[in-house]
């Protein structure tokens, strides 16, 4: 059955929705969520076409209806230069020019601490010079007294002309000494100039080192000609609506943040495994985007909640762990033209404690802001599943604040529509069994090489069967099967080829409720025949069946 999903929200992965058990707090929490959405809205480019579509949508955007079969889903922007518009190409060229100039001038990082050190160094010689002057003053006064004594001696010996001639000779020697001292001062000035030149050489070496600067393993120096450079820079440009100066400042701030928080070495840190159930990477979608699952219901455990958010230090550790997970996801991306350079986010709101929890709200807000500022355009699509019933009011409230492009990135799914929604973007073999897919943790039976998933439609009021041929004796037959929404009668049996043999019931017919998970079963035959899986649909809606099977031959055959 075709999924019915409302595609509306922003590009934030950490928005947490409260449980429906707290209706009195919905209004306050919605306001907080709206503010978070406004933050995301800053990163969404607005074009004339987008605004025209938004105007044409009109009241339809505010409708609480969950059906969005007609709405087009977000299409990730191309990283191919040939697909860019002229103003986008010009903006990219201009940003590359500014970036190269900043790297060559060694002006990419802030130097506040360096300036402070320079001021201190400049103040020290000034203080030292004043002390030397104070020390020299009494020495000069002593020299003056000596000179006056000498002048007294000169007056007493004025009659002796021979001695006067000797003094004039001494004065000539003094003038020669002063000339030599002038030469020495010139030499010292030349040495000072040499020292300044050496500083220039040192700076040139530093600039040469900065040419190797990179971001997520991609060289940023444009002259190196890496195709990944354009892909990274386009992310910052799109996050700032192709305003070059703002994109450049965003890039500089990101580099500074990564340097101060030592993000480049975060993958080597052991931040513990306690939060592995909170968020994790698992599988890829139909377009090859790595999938990140965020499970907020685990914070309903008070012990884990306090262990994660109990103190400021613990919240800081949580944030660092979340950045580490983001960096792990980025390791799976390929920054090249036409490559996959963003993630798919799945946000499970089932049993979430919600934004009513202050510590969770504060940590969420911090994570949202930092991820938004330092990982631009890294989320291709955000899917929210197990959304509470009041989502419709929430959706209507948010719609006026969001562009069509923003809303097209977001998908909401009620509990009954989780599997159908995920199947629109993720193949069944990549969807975990808890969400109705066929992917099991550490599965040793089925793999990607076993082939794609088959699909069967069971019309209303009809019965369909799946037959697994078993012509050889002694083999083991293994199968996976799930029915979207279930509410059908299901049974499994082995039917021998020999009409005189009895049919073997593998699983007797049962009424399968809507909450049933995927089925995995196996059977080993002792005679030729076939395994028959029967699905009887007694409802008024058609049912969608997904299944796969394989044969494990015995060693004797």
Helix (H, G, I), strand (E, B) or coil at 284: strand
What are the residue ranges of helices labelled H in 105-160? 112-156
Residues 6+ positions from 556 with CB-CB distance below 8 Å:
474
* E strands, 170-248, in order: 214-215, 218-219
Q: From the DSSP assignment, how many helices (H) and strands (E) are in the chain? A: 13, 15
pLDDT score of 505: 97
Which of the four pLDDT bands, split at 50, 70 and 90, describes residue 120? low
Q: Which residue has the higher pLDDT, 171 or 126?
A: 171
pLDDT tens for each residue of 256-293: 999 999 999 999 999 877 888 999 999 999 999 999 99
pTM of the predicted structure, to 2 decimals: 0.70
Rounded-to-10 torsion of CA 16, 5, 11, 61: -110
How far is 330 from 340, CA to CA, in rounded Å?
10
Q: How confident is the model at residue 188 (pLDDT cuts 50, 70, 90)?
A: low
Across-strand partners of 479? 521, 549
Taking the CA of residue 70 as centre, how many other CA atoms within 13 Å lie in the half-sphere pointing to its CB? 6
16 confidence band (pLDDT: 50, 70, 90)? very low
**CB of 64 within 8 A of CB of 395?**
yes
Report the pLDDT averaged over residues 529-549.
97
Give the mean model confidence (pLDDT) for residues 244-253.
Answer: 96
What is the rounded CA–CA span in Å between residue 481 and residue 371?
A: 38
pLDDT at 209 over 90: no
492 vs 122: which has the higher pLDDT: 492
State yes or no: pLDDT of 84 exceeds 50.
yes
Identify the pLDDT of residue 176. 55
Q: Are 378 and 332 in contact (CB under 8 A)?
A: no
Q: Coil, strand, or helix at residue 27?
A: helix
Measure the CA dihedral 343/348/354/360, to 10°: -40
Q: What three-state secondary structure class fits 376?
A: coil
DSSP code of 31?
H
Which is more confident, 32 or 465?
465
Q: How far apart are CA 519 and CA 438, in angstroms?
A: 9
pLDDT in tens, 191-201: 555 444 444 44
Q: Which residues of 317-354 are buried (b: 16+ CB within 10 A; e: fewer)?
A: bbbbbbbbbbbebbeebebebeebbbbbbbbbbbbbbb
- Region 340-356: mean pLDDT is 88
The superfamily in CATH containing domain 23-76+261-426 is CRAL-TRIO lipid binding domain (3.40.525.10)
Q: For 27-36, what is the mean pLDDT?
A: 39
Which range among 56-70, 183-197, 205-219, 283-297 has the greatest average pLDDT?
A: 283-297
**61-70 mean pLDDT:** 32
The model's confidence at residue 400, banded by pLDDT at 50, 70 and 90, is low
Closest residue by Cα to residue 519 from 491, 487, 538? 491
Are 23-76+261-426 and 454-552 in the same CATH fold?
no
Residue 360 is predicted with a pLDDT of 85
In the chain, the largest separation of any two C-alpha atoms, in whole Å, equals 158
Question: Residue 506 pLDDT > 60, yes or no?
Answer: yes
Helix (H, G, I), strand (E, B) or coil at 48: helix
Structural fold of domain 454-552: Jelly Rolls (2.60.120)
Residues 54 and 34: their CA atoms lie apart, in Å, by 19
* Cβ count within 10 A of residue 219: 17
Inform me whether the pLDDT recorded for 491 exceeds 80: yes
Percent of the chain scoring above 90 in pLDDT: 50
Using CB atoms within 10 Å of the CB of residue 471, give its burial: 0 to 12 exposed, 13 to 18 middle, 19+ buried: exposed
Output the average pLDDT for the chain. 76
Rounded alpha-carbon distances, angstroms, from residue 270 to 48, 52, 275, 325, 444: 48, 49, 12, 12, 29
Task: Report yes or no: 342 and 378 within 8 Å, Cβ to Cβ.
Answer: yes
Position 392 scores a pLDDT of: 60
Q: Cβ neighbours of residue 322 under 8 Å, at least 6 residues apart? A: 14, 279, 367, 371
Position 38 scores a pLDDT of: 41
SS3 breakdown of the chain: % helix, strand, coil, rounded to 5?
50, 20, 35
Q: 554, exposed or middle or buried, with CB in 10 Å at 0-12, 13-18, 19+?
A: exposed
Among 49-63, 203-217, 307-321, the range scoring the smallest mean pLDDT is 49-63
Q: Residue 391: its pLDDT value, please?
A: 62
Query: What is the model's pLDDT at position 134?
Result: 42
- Using pLDDT thresholds of 50, 70 and 90, give the confidence band for residue 521: very high
Helix (H, G, I), strand (E, B) or coil at 180: helix
Instruction: Report domain extents, the chain.
Output: 23-76+261-426, 454-552
Which is higher by pLDDT, 109 or 21? 109
pLDDT at 428: 95
**What is the pLDDT, as a whole number, of residue 398?**
60
Average pLDDT value for residue range 134-153: 47
Q: How far is CA 32 from the centre of its chain?
A: 22
> 350, 328, 351, 349: which is closest to 282 by C-alpha?
328
DSSP letter, residue 453: P
């Amino acid at each position: 059955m075709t999924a019915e999903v409302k595609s509306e929200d922003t590009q934030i992965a950490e928005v947490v929705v409260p449980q429906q058990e707290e209706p009195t707090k919905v209004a306050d929490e919605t306001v907080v969520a709206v503010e978070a959405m406004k933050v995301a809205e800053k990163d969404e480019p607005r074009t004339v076409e987008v605004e025209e579509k938004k105007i044409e949508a009109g009241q339809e955007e505010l409708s609480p209806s969950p059906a969005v079969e007609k709405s087009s889903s977000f299409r990730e922007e191309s990283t191919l230069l040939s697909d860019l518009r002229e103003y986008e190409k010009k903006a990219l060229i201009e940003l590359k020019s500014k970036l190269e100039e900043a790297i060559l001038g060694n002006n990419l990082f802030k130097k506040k601490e360096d300036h402070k050190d320079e001021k201190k160094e400049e103040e020290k010689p000034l203080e030292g010079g004043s002390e030397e002057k104070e020390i020299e003053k009494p020495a000069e006064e002593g020299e003056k007294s000596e000179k006056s004594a000498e002048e007294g001696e000169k007056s007493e010996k004025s009659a002796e002309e021979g001695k006067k001639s000797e003094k004039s000779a001494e004065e000539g020697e003094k003038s020669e000494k002063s000339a030599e001292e002038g030469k020495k001062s010139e030499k010292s000035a030349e040495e000072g100039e040499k020292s300044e030149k050496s500083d220039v050489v040192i700076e040139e070496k530093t600039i040469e080192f900065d040419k190797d600067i990179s971001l997520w393993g991609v060289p940023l120096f444009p002259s190196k000609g890496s195709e990944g450079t354009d892909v990274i820079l386009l992310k910052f440009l799109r996050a700032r609506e192709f305003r070059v100066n703002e994109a450049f400042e965003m890039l500089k701030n990101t580099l500074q943040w990564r340097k101060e928080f030592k993000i480049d070495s975060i993958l080597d840190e052991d931040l513990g495994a306690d939060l592995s159930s909170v968020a994790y990477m698992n599988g890829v979608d139909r377009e090859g985007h790595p999938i990140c699952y965020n499970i907020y219901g685990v914070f309903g455990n008070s012990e884990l909640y306090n262990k994660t958010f109990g103190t400021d230090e613990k919240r800081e550790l949580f944030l660092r762990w979340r950045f580490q997970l983001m960096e792990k996801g980025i390791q799976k991306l390929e920054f090249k033209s036409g490559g996959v350079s963003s993630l798919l986010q799945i946000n499970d709101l089932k049993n979430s404690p919600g934004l009513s929890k202050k510590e969770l709200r504060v940590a969420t807000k911090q994570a949202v802001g930092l991820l938004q500022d330092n990982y631009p355009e890294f989320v291709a699509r955000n899917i929210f599943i197990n959304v509470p019933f009041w989502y419709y009011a929430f959706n209507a409230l948010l719609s006026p604040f969001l562009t069509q492009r923003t809303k097209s990135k977001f998908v909401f799914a009620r509990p009954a529509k989780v599997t159908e929604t995920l199947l629109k973007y993720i193949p069944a073999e990549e969807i975990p069994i808890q969400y109705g897919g066929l992917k099991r943790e550490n599965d040793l039976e089925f793999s990607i090489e076993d082939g794609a998933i088959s699909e069967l439609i069971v019309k209303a009021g009809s019965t369909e069967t799946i037959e697994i041929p078993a012509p050889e004796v002694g083999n083991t037959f293994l199968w996976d099967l799930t029915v979207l929404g279930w509410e059908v009668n299901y049974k499994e049996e082995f039917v021998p080829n020999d009409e005189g043999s009895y049919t073997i019931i593998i699983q007797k017919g049962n009424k399968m409720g809507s909450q049933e998970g995927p089925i995995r079963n196996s059977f080993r035959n002792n005679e030729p025949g076939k395994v028959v899986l029967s699905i009887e649909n007694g409802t008024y809606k058609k049912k969608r069946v997904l299944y796969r099977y394989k044969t494990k031959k015995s060693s004797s055959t």
